[in-house]
Amino acid sequence: MLVSTPAPAVHSPASASTSPAHYGFAGMAIGAKLADLHDIRPKASCAPEKNGVVDCFARDQPVGGGYFASDLDYRFIDGHLAQIRFKSSIDGFAFVVAKLKHDFGQPANLRRDDVRLYGHGFAHVTFMWRNGRSTIRMSDPVTPNQLAVTITFDADESRLDAAAA
């Protein structure tokens, strides 16, 4: 009878870590390398670096029900994905929320308030997901006909704010 020794387990940083994975969207996860974007979104175009941030823009991606994530912006700091931003039609609200809940579970926070846009008042809602490394904010509306989603690596948030200034 042959006795075989099991092969040693392959070390995987993701499986070794007890902290949750970064959030992401459309095949790109926060922390991914800039080179990964061109593999996943070969037609993405990137603007020159500005204040340490490289903004790359990709084609619209479906969120369900015939609605799309538009103005898809991947923001990189030091060659790593620090933020994903996109907008969608407010008519696609249920599909965006369903996609985020499907991918990341129930939001950690929900806030309802009112917002003034173009001189008119609108009921406003903000959903927030947090996993200790990244945060997702979905705000509806940000214009009278659009909602916005921002996925940010928490450690880079202040650098992204400073780059926008």
* Tally of domains within the chain: 1
Question: What pLDDT was estimated at residue 7?
Answer: 35
DSSP the chain: ----PPPPPPP-HHHH--SPPPPEETTEETT-BHHHHHHH-TT-EEPPPBTTEEEEEE--EEEETTEEEEEEEEEEETTEEEEEEEEEEGGGHHHHHHHHHHHH-S-SEEEEEEEEETTEEEEEEEEEEE-SSEEEEEEEEEETTEEEEEEEEGGGHHHHHHHH-
Question: What pLDDT was estimated at residue 14?
Answer: 34
Among the residue ranges 32-36, 88-92, 156-160, the one predicted with the least confidence is: 156-160
Q: How confident is the model at residue 161 (pLDDT cuts 50, 70, 90)?
A: confident
Question: What pLDDT was estimated at residue 162?
Answer: 82
**Mean per-residue pLDDT of the chain:** 87
Assigned domain for 67 exists: yes
Assigned domain for 91 exists: yes
Q: Which domain holds residue 75?
A: 20-164
Among the residue ranges 25-34, 63-72, 143-152, 156-165, the one predicted with the least confidence is: 156-165
**Per residue in 104-151, pLDDT tens?**
999 999 999 999 999 999 999 999 999 999 999 999 999 999 999 999
Assigned domain for 9 exists: no
Assigned domain for 53 exists: yes
